[in-house]
Structure 1
């Protein structure tokens, strides 16, 4: 059975090109200081569609997304490559969770929607981010419920209102973008290696949509998405390299244990 131990330029080159495109989009917005919030009508069908896209990276739906990707990959990869993919995804997801947990309080960056609420005298960000998460949710709920009575240009669809009330932590980095980029990079490597193109293509457009959804819904600034795209790609590549180096030993050990167990049961 072939083991997935050699990096191939025929796979890495399209991966790197895709990553570059994903970096260029928020990079242009950042360089030209273009803010996508509040350009979109947040009580529209488009806003609700973006909510469902962004929810695909939100717990528990994010876990379901990873499991779906693994299921689709399982049907298209050899057993050794699938387990290598599983270990790589596990390593990269643990890394982004830890990194996001550490960086958010370190940078203390307010979300665009919180800044907008402050500009309309519905929230005080200094006080808001000093509260516990439960207290922030209560205060955000109160602020969101006052929007329709304030002199503002924004009306929130119920799903978007629910999202604002749920996402009350700091802005930098974008955990949703980290998840989307890392999952796309890692999964695309193995599937492109196996000759599958359509799933990596879907994941690529999902990653683009995720970044846009985070910015258009007022959850992140362009620099958050740009930095998370950069970090997500690096984490994906480092995770691939780490498993590339360790998986031969893991696979060899596991096959020996299985073989010994079968002999013992005979």
Structure 2
């Protein structure tokens, strides 16, 4: 798990050290761009909820009942932590997204004014900028899916909430499945996490430092969630057993 975590962090770390941006690298009206959109959507509400439910379903089939309960509690704790941390850090750092900076370089957006607006008004401004982009002499063309994604994602850049979500879910789930002797699903989850980080950078949603920091934070949140639940689970298990015994006593008295 730690080895996989390190591999996930190496990619954005190298990009950061080389001061290299992956946006705009690919054609954003291509099949690849649309595929990356659907990949990144697995970490976007409401699809992110479906992703968690799918992971829980696959884990339920491969773990014992106590292991699954522990996994469920750890994922719940991890997801709550990532949502809270992400909502706090974004307005604290006030970092503009790469796509907004690029639009500013094309004189289609002013990032200072843009990020001072309420979120609803930012969506209107982004939509207006993208409409002007279609009539401008630019080499960058957006597919309808990517264009819609840009209109929706108008928050600050740091950290990458999608990467944070993917890393936390991957670390927690992989821990329990590896203990149960399952390697395939953790392997697929780590590949998914790598793809999530790449999709965020290639689609112009995040800088390499956003993905690197989120990779580190997601790993820490995952490990802490596992530790907390493993420490508390014996007490929760005893409490659950006591409730079941009391329930049986009540049924017998009836």
TM-score, normalised to structure 2's length? 0.98
1:79 to 62, 65, 69: 65
Counterparts of 1:112-191 in structure 2 under 5 Å? 112-191=98-177
Q: Distance in 1 between matches of 2:36 and 2:120?
A: 25
Shift of 1:147: 1.1
Q: What 5-or-longer segments of structure 1 have no aligned partner?
A: 1-14
Q: Distance in 1 between matches of 2:36 and 2:250?
A: 55
Give per-residue Cα distances to partners, 1:76-130, cap 9 Å, x unaligned. 1000010000000000100010100010000000000000000001111000000
Q: Distance in 2 between matches of 1:265 and 1:114?
A: 64
Q: What 5-or-longer segments of structure 2 have no aligned partner?
A: none
- The equivalent of 2:182 in structure 1 is 196
Structure 1 stretches (4+) deviating beyond 6 angstroms? Answer: none
**Aligned: 1:91 with 2:71:** no
SS at match of 2:90: helix
1:29 to 4, 12, 15: 15
- The equivalent of 1:218 in structure 2 is 204
After superposition, the CA RMSD in angstroms is 0.6
- The equivalent of 1:10 in structure 2 is none
- The equivalent of 1:11 in structure 2 is none
Shift of 1:144: 1.1
- The equivalent of 2:31 in structure 1 is 45
TM-score, normalised to structure 1's length? 0.94
**Aligned: 1:102 with 2:88:** yes
**Aligned: 1:230 with 2:216:** yes
